[in-house]
Structure 1
């Protein structure tokens, strides 16, 4: 997959200066990072809705759109796919492939019984505090 994303990234870079009238990628670049971020968020929401509705095929299609829009945003921000893969590799080394809890916090022998404390989600806590006022 990394090769596919790299090819997509290179195609995005090649298309960014094309005519916005004929290139969706060029239109996104012309619209700026705000437009790119909005499109990325829209695609993420579509993936979520399709997943909640149990529409696997739509999740696949919308996920491809999501990756495209993420790649456009990366290109705009000067982020290369290899930068993201390096960060993923760094996290895997520190936390494990599917974990966010540092390995040092885990006792390997007790891993099956460990229940890590969840970090608070600040945005939700702030929202809840505002509602109580």
Structure 2
């Protein structure tokens, strides 16, 4: 996961700062610190473990609250004296109950799509009588695909002749129904992003 021996703990007096990001939305969740032992424990357990400067010792995130951070990747910066930890949070990252320690704002930019994907997945277990998302998923991929087709036409018409507000609204409907279709087929949004990444790498 990471070459622990290559991390420069000495520069920070035995600690390195750690930027913690949601692996799906890339939202910055918190800033913490690790000593070598905390990093070793994080690698071994694949759960974020930090060094608390106020407590003077190591603590695993979520030990009390249950809001643990499952580690996806650990990346050092160019000087190997700071880390980026990408995680899958099991609840709010902030002790105040918000998703991020940096304010109550939800995932910004394209991260909003990943948050929407997670919401759609959660709604799959809802009552189809009260949740449009649950109903679409219960009706299967063909129904979701039909809605993508309908919304695609409406988006195209709005793009050709409608005002900006209408185009934005129809495009939002299209993106939502496309994510529902992906969920109905068992495909994550990341599969689409991987295709785009491969095309960009190939120079397409």
TM-score, normalization: structure 1?
0.68
Aligned to 1:70: 178
* Deviation (angstroms), 1:32: 1.0
Map 1:15-94 → 2, pairs under 5 A: 15-94=123-202
| CA–CA distance in structure 2, aligned partners of residues 54 and 29 of structure 1 | 30
* Deviation (angstroms), 1:95: 2.4
- Residues 81-118 of structure 1 deviation map (CA, whole Å, 9 limit, x = unaligned): 1111111111001124xxxxxxxxxxxxxxxxxxxxxx
SS in 2 for 1:46: helix
* Deviation (angstroms), 1:2: 3.3
How large is the Cα RMSD of the aligned pairs?
A: 1.1
- Given the alignment of the two structures, is residue 95 of structure 1 paired with residue 196 of structure 2, yes or no? no
* Deviation (angstroms), 1:44: 0.5
- Residues 34-82 of structure 1 deviation map (CA, whole Å, 9 limit, x = unaligned): 1100111100100011111142111100100100000001111111111
Give unpaired runs (5+ residues) of structure 1.
97-133
* Deviation (angstroms), 1:20: 0.9
- Pair member with larger Rg: 2
| CA–CA distance in structure 2, aligned partners of residues 76 and 34 of structure 1 | 9
Which 4+ residue blocks in structure 1 deviate beyond 4 angstroms? none
Aligned to 1:101: none
| CA–CA distance in structure 1, aligned partners of residues 140 and 190 of structure 2 | 23
Q: Which has the higher contact order (CA 8 A, sep 6+)?
A: 1
Aligned to 2:121: 13
Aligned to 1:127: none
SS in 1 for 2:202: helix
Give unpaired runs (5+ residues) of structure 2.
1-108
- Residues 4-51 of structure 1 deviation map (CA, whole Å, 9 limit, x = unaligned): 111101100000121111100011011111110011110010001111
